[in-house]
Structure 1
Amino acid sequence: KFVVVVTGNPYLVSNLTVWSGIRAEVKFKLPPIDFSKLGLDKVYVTFYMNDGDNVQWNIMMRDFWEDPYRGKVPVAWTISPFLVDLAPLVMKYYVETMSELDAFVSGPSGAGYWYPNVNPEYTDEFLGLTNEYFKRSGLMFTEVLGEFLDGETLPKYAKELRVLAIKIGYRGMDTFPYYTSESPVPIIPGTIEFSEGEERKAYNWLRAIATVYKRRPLHVLVICVPWEFKSLKSLRLLADMISSDKELMLVNFHEFVIMLNPEYGTKLAEELLKRAKGTGVSKRTLLEAEDCLRVAKKYCEEGRWREASLEANKALRILASSLKLISKED
């Protein structure tokens, strides 16, 4: 049973009895990957749209979804895993019309709006329900509320849900992705927050980040609060500024995560390696990729997640470049 309570909001949810009665078999999918872009000496940027735990936002998201700039800017859209029951046809619409730049992330904090640090005694029960809905919906990323979570909650999320990444907090937090000691699943905070009409301000922040923080690759998640936007035009204007800057690179959220999750990156690299061995890729290239993977696995065993990610990214880039060359020659 569901009780959907909507207060103080102009966007209402109506006809859930009808929507929930129309069945559709569908799962969210991951956007494609351009492996050649991964792990370069760049500041990587992607956009993140908040408030997807709200079912009314999931329904009204169609306004943004049909915006002419959607699909021209990489956006991670938060969405409720409950749509698989409440409005599967709406979920099917988003899945079947997503672009290569769209990705879906479970709204906070999984199966419902919840602060794990406020009710820690319910964590196991909550994650059990969330895991059921993630399996049914196909979601591979989640947001978790609470900027100051204890050292047990985040590893438990990573282990129990088998997600590829955890986005933490609501607003921009002026910080960058990090790891817990127990898990290679990256914890991704919003680095900066962006509102409509503030393209120049946001770009200046990105330039300041690129100037002050010399570590490369560096990953910046740009937070967008949907209630502060009438369209996606501002995102496109900022994206154009980013694209014209040689130090910055736009990627979709899936690509963003691959560069940060060493176990996932290594798994994908091993799949590319198998493909490469059946083509005309040189033995030298194969050995170089295998060496990167060996080092990546060693670092994973030691819990050196960032170093492992760098090696996995290198292997992915080497193999992708070689396979692309073979394809062109064919």
Structure 2
Amino acid sequence: EIFARLPINIPIRGFWWHGDGVGLGEGGGVEFGGGFGKITVVSDGMANISVHTGVRIDALKQQIAPTPPLDPAKVYLTFTMSDGDNLTTLYNYFPSYFESEEFGKFPMGWGIGPSAIDLIPAVVDWYYRRATPTDEFFADVSGVGYVFPETFGNRYRDCQAVLDGFLDLTREYLRRTDMHAVRPHGGSPDRMKAYAARIPELNCIVADYGRRGGMTYDGSLWWPTDLVPVFHAMTTWGRGVEGMVEEIRGAVGDRRPAFVNVFVWNWGFRLADLQRVLEELGDDYVAVTPSQLAELARASRR
């Protein structure tokens, strides 16, 4: 009753998980809150937000590297790093990536929660200033905050209006953070079409927190509009470098050109590991940013 009485598309700050068997847990909590149109902003363990929010940044700008010309004999892949929607991860964990020896040596997609521009603006500004033209930030996970698109707003009669409000809010925060890609956490084709229709500035949708069961390459790339491709994740987590190489090769087979969303579980991979993945895959595989992957996929259709 409390959740139903509160306005829709407002944040829930903190986190739903407090130990095995305690409360609703992460998935149950995100789904419960999202059903009432509430958006989880993961911020447990993040101190001094009242101080951080004293900084005001209206908008940020990404550097953009030109897209390489399409080589029809290549496999193009984009690494999409997970869990940047977690403010504590941004504050305490991601800096080690940006300070590593491998940083900037190959293109990367970095998931970030766009609302961080209001909550920890100076921290996000640090990332934008340090990023190279081959580092692209995209909205993680699902948009302005953590929701499951398929069940978002399902406690209301007009659940589509609730989702539309979420997507409109996401669009505004993507404008402020100069992001042009988003990773929805699951969702049906109709939900992906809603993203593409409601956020016309999107270059692509890099869907899913890890590879869905039964997902094949032929099902991983599709077009909700003529200009916006959906790239479903073709890798999962917990399999290490060799496992990731095996998943990528197994997914594309002999298809050329091919376009692959390589989901990277941040808790299990360092940049040195991803560099090894590229080395083991060989020269036929080319890393690009998410938006570059979209442009190359569009070029392959002309």
Q: Is the 8 A contact 2:206 2:290 kept in 1?
A: no
Amino acid at match of 1:4: R
Q: Is the 8 A contact 1:140 1:164 kept in 2?
A: yes
Moved more, 129-138 or 1-10: 1-10
Moved more, 52-61 or 173-182: 173-182
Q: In the alignment, which residue of structure 2 is the partner of 1:254?
A: 291
* 1:125-164 correspondence to structure 2 within 5 Å: 125-146=165-186, 148-151=187-190, 153-162=191-200, 163-164=202-203
Distance of 2:288 and 2:152 partners within structure 1: 35
TM value normalised by structure 1: 0.70
Q: In the alignment, which residue of structure 2 is the partner of 1:33?
A: 66
Distance of 2:248 and 2:74 partners within structure 1: 12
Distance of 1:20 and 1:2 partners within structure 2: 15
Q: Is the 8 A contact 1:31 1:254 kept in 2?
A: no
Q: Is the 8 A contact 1:145 1:169 kept in 2?
A: yes
Q: In the alignment, which residue of structure 1 is the partner of 2:5?
A: none
Q: Is the 8 A contact 2:216 2:251 kept in 1?
A: no
Q: In the alignment, which residue of structure 2 is the partner of 1:53?
A: 85
Question: Structure 1 residue 191 and structure 2 residue 234: aligned?
Answer: yes
Distance of 1:77 and 1:105 partners within structure 2: 6
Distance of 1:3 and 1:183 partners within structure 2: 35
Q: What SS does structure 1 have at the residue aligned with 2:209?
A: strand
Question: Structure 1 residue 178 and structure 2 residue 238: aligned?
Answer: no
Q: In the alignment, which residue of structure 1 is the partner of 2:301?
A: 310
Between structures 1 and 2, the one with greater helix share? 1
Amino acid at match of 2:83: D
Identity %: 24
* 1:1-330 correspondence to structure 2 within 5 Å: 3-6=12-15, 7-8=17-18, 12-36=45-69, 38-60=70-92, 61-120=94-153, 121=159, 122-146=162-186, 148-151=187-190, 153-162=191-200, 163-173=202-212, 174-176=215-217, 177-180=220-223, 182-193=225-236, 195=238, 198-210=240-252, 212=253, 214-229=254-269, 231-242=270-281, 245-260=282-297, 262=298, 309-311=300-302
Residue 219 of structure 1, CA deviation:
1.0
Q: What SS does structure 1 have at the residue aligned with 2:62?
A: coil
Answer with 1 or 2: which has the greater Rg: 1
Residues 72 and 123 of structure 1: CA distance in aligned 2, closer, same or farther (over 3 Å):
same
Residues 236 and 182 of structure 1: CA distance in aligned 2, closer, same or farther (over 3 Å):
closer
Distance of 1:240 and 1:150 partners within structure 2: 34
Residue 8 of structure 1, CA deviation:
4.3
Q: Is the 8 A contact 1:49 1:225 kept in 2?
A: yes
Q: Deviations over 1:278-302 (max 9, x none)?
A: xxxxxxxxxxxxxxxxxxxxxxxxx
Distance of 1:226 and 1:11 partners within structure 2: 18
TM value normalised by structure 2: 0.76
Amino acid at match of 1:184: L
Amino acid at match of 1:144: P
Residues 94 and 131 of structure 1: CA distance in aligned 2, closer, same or farther (over 3 Å):
same
Distance of 1:127 and 1:25 partners within structure 2: 19
What are structure 2's unaligned runs of at least 5 residues? 1-9, 20-42, 154-158
Q: Is the 8 A contact 1:46 1:75 kept in 2?
A: yes
Q: In the alignment, which residue of structure 1 is the partner of 2:24?
A: none
Residues 115 and 24 of structure 1: CA distance in aligned 2, closer, same or farther (over 3 Å):
same
Q: What SS does structure 2 have at the residue aligned with 1:172?
A: coil
Distance of 1:180 and 1:149 partners within structure 2: 13
What are structure 1's unaligned runs of at least 5 residues? 266-308, 312-330
Q: What SS does structure 2 have at the residue aligned with 1:193?
A: coil
Residue 46 of structure 1, CA deviation:
2.2
Aligned residues, how many? Answer: 256
RMSD of aligned alpha carbons: 2.5
Amino acid at match of 1:310: R
